[in-house]
Structure 1
Amino acid sequence: MATSQVQPSMLSIFVVFFCVYGNVVYGQFTKFDKLTLPRGVIGPEAASFRGFMAEGPFTTVIDGRIMKWQGPNIGFQFCDGTTDPDKGPICGRPLALSFQPITGLLYITDAYFGLLVVGPNGGLATQLAGGFKFASGLDVDLLTGYVYFIDASGGGPAVSADSTFVLVPKLTGLRVLKYWLVGLRANTTQVLVNVAGNPNKIKRAERLGEFWMAVSVGQVPRRPPITPQGVRINSNGVILQTVSFATEFFNKTISLVQEQSGKLYVGSRFTDFIGVYSN
């Protein structure tokens, strides 16, 4: 596993928190809906929202494209391109997305091309850093604009809202590491929490100081049936909630659990939809 940090050319020290974290109320997320991809397209491993109006979600798919949800009447909208999953080495295979909320820049980790960025109006992405084994996940620091991404770990990091630490999943190690960025423990790592399954991407929850992890129990070593879960933890590693997605994602691994406006958006490389769970 390797982690890298990139400082974009446009930074802002100001950040506006759109959500009122203290008012978030969690239930068991028993209501389910789908955001279905176009025919023949699979692999939505990301779900990222743009701006304070929460446009999207934007997602990545297995043929190398990035799509945007335009509402139930239109569905996902995408540019022309291939639907051949074997074209990954040519067209790329984006695995994670993260917006810089002030500049509107969209950062992308791609299994073949490393770290890329695209402007607020879309278009072709620009490569910022390459030469990695398997760039799989990233997160943008809300305060500094720094971009943290992971190479060859099978998951994705999450930066705390106060920029004091980064959480890093160990896919086969069944644990999450906490890497301190500031203070007396700066540049040191501790085991934050041991997990009953294989953790993938980690994302900030809407409540300040909390995070959602995508966890697949039985993924490595494989012990079918695989049980996909969303696990909510706090910054001290306390497990606050576990939500099962086993019915809708039966025997499938999941890559991401992204909270937005009180809903959980769940992505998997093996489906043709993003699952949406609400209370």
Structure 2
Amino acid sequence: MVLVTLMWSIAGVVTRHLEAARSFEVTFWRSFFTVLSLLLILPMFQGRAAVIDKLRRGGRAMWLSGACWSVMFTAFMVALTLTSVANVLVTMALGPLMTALIARVAIGHRIAPRTWAAIVVAGAGIVWMYGAKFSAGEMAGTLVALAVPIAGGINWTVTQRAHGRGEQVDLVPSVLIGAVLSSLATLPLALPLQATLHDVGLLALLGLVQLAIPCTLAVICARVLAAPEISLLALLEVIFGILLAWLGAGERPVPEVLTGGALVIGALVVNELIGWRQRA
């Protein structure tokens, strides 16, 4: 799982070395190569017939999950073109708290007092990060990045409701669906394509190494690790991503991001550790 988070975290530093590809074209190429990679990887792990059967029998829940993955793929890459890597990653780290809120509204999950406290502290961290930056155009990137944890929360809620009804939703085929939808939706917006061969090579790397392989491994890890372990280890993506962008692209995070990010990550860690201890 640590390796998975390291692979996820390379997106920021890689996009900073693109020559001509921008915005929706970046998303299109990454999603396109994710589709190609998964079409090779999934049959190796599950068998071609099994993959086709799961796609046929997935039902509405799988397609809704795929739509959520599509939003996450698209919003993440577009946000990286609008604001700093640190801003995007810290905003995405709100995922567990956003999931708790969405699950509370949609399926009546109870939110523990510790999680309410974590939501308040993390919200304060986000306000601290961006309070002085809205005039500098950071708000657009923040709002786009916020679509990632919102879509992630909806995705989790959809799959939990499906499981509660006895439906089995395989998340890996839904990732494939999301990549297909993302590439189809962004292609018209990406035209005319301007990416150089250098850019296409980097985005192919992202499609394979930053999405297809780690998403497949994460599903395998989820069969062994407890949910709190997954949530805590996933936060390493924020640390790895900021460090890689700093060391590999000279994108040094400003003090407000470090302070606000520490509040967000600290709230998430304390919330998960207390919950883990209580369950134990």
**TM-score bracket, shorter-length normalisation:** under 0.3
Q: As a proportion of its length, which structure holds more helix? A: 2
Q: Whose strand fraction is larger, Structure 1's or Structure 2's?
A: 1
Which one scores higher on RCO, CA 8 angstroms, separation ≥ 6? 2
Task: Give the TM-score normalised by structure 1.
Answer: 0.25
Greater gyration radius:
2
TM-score when normalising by structure 2:
0.25
